[in-house]
Amino acid sequence: MAQQLASDFPDLYSSEWIHYKHANENKLGLTQRALFPKSIGAVVDELNSAPFVAWLRELTGIPDIFADPSLEGGGLHQSEIGGFLNIHTDFSVHHHRPDWERRVNLILYLNTDWQDSWGGALEFWDENMKQRAAHYFPRINHAVIFNTGEKSLHGFPVPLRCPPGVARKSLALYYYSPRKMDSVVHATKYRPRPGDGLKKSLMIHFDTYVLDLYSRAKRRLRFSDRAASNLLRILAKLRPH
């Protein structure tokens, strides 16, 4: 089944992809379930099904988590050569459901013949950003399931070195629970690594601030990432070269 999903994964150059490209990440995303190939859609439905969510509750010890059919921020992701995702903690509350608190991530990798020399390992860092605690290469039919929260620092910050036309592919699903009234609402928070240097660190923090403003506007105005992606594409074409 994993081999089938990898084979059916949408083309890298399809116009359906949302472009997440800024100082803290360089990747493509697709959240619309209706645009997924049949095989991938079926697996998404299974991973969002009541029996699987019940298994997740038992695994994580969180008794009230539930699935997000809209796949907000999740769905299909891929990054080609030069792609990266800086170390971060995830947004804490669903952008369009303020009563949903994000609790668990599931990331399934769909990369056939991935070479470790290309990079792309998902890194987990300690809460003080002093050292990398663990890392997992994105091999096909391997998944990572972890709690989201202030200590769940993760990403693949080193630009990919895969050949042109090859991409790091994954399927991501996020699970929620009813939000507690005293829970803190925040956007994705990126963190520099030791040795990133002053210039890069300042850029990471500034971009995080801008993304926080974007996240607030998204929750208030209820626009989609696709609308923002299309606007950025237009602005890029108008920018003098």
Say whether pLDDT at 240 is over 80.
no
Domains of the chain: 2-234 (2.60.120.620)
Please report the pLDDT score of residue 130 as a whole number. Answer: 96
Q: Per the structure block, which two tokens stand in for 176?
A: 């929620």
Please list the alpha-helical segments (H only) found in 177-240. Answer: 198-221, 225-238
- Percent of the chain past pLDDT 70, that is, above it, reads 91
Nearest to 207 by CA among 88, 98, 75, 72: 88
Say whether pLDDT at 224 is over 80.
no
Distance of alpha carbon 155 from alpha carbon 79, whole angstroms: 13
Cα 190 off chain centre by: 13
Q: Which helix (H) or strand (E) holds 24?
A: none
* Residue 43 pLDDT level (bands cut at 50, 70, 90): very high
CA distances, 124 to each of 16, 151, 163, 192, 195 (Å) = 30, 10, 25, 13, 17
Please report the pLDDT score of residue 231 as a whole number. Answer: 54
Mean pLDDT (whole number) for 125-129: 95
Say whether pLDDT at 218 is over 80.
no
User: Using CB atoms within 10 A of its CB, is residue 182 exposed (0-12), middle (13-18) or buried (19+)?
Assistant: exposed
CA distances, 80 to each of 30, 68, 74, 83 (Å) = 15, 27, 18, 5
Nearest to 70 by CA among 42, 30, 21: 30
Please report the pLDDT score of residue 239 as a whole number. Answer: 44
Q: Give 122's strand partners.
A: 136
Say whether pLDDT at 166 is over 50.
yes
Say whether pLDDT at 3 is over 50.
yes
Mean pLDDT (whole number) for 12-36: 91
Q: Are 26 and 120 in contact (CB under 8 A)?
A: no
What are 90-123's pLDDT values in tens digits?
999 998 899 999 999 999 999 999 999 999 999 9
Residue 221 one-letter amino acid: L
Q: What are phi and psi of 115, to 5 degrees?
A: -100, 130
Distance of alpha carbon 22 from alpha carbon 15, whole angstroms: 19
Distance of alpha carbon 43 from alpha carbon 1, whole angstroms: 9
Please give the mean pLDDT across all residues of the chain: 91
Say whether pLDDT at 176 is over 70.
yes
223 or 217: which carries more pLDDT confidence?
217
What are 227-238's pLDDT values in tens digits?
656 555 554 454
Mean pLDDT (whole number) for 146-153: 93
Residues, the chain, total? 241
Q: Per the structure block, which two tokens stand in for 241?
A: 């070269």
Distance of alpha carbon 86 from alpha carbon 123, whole angstroms: 10
Q: What are phi and psi of 32, to 5 degrees?
A: -80, 105
Mean pLDDT (whole number) for 68-78: 95
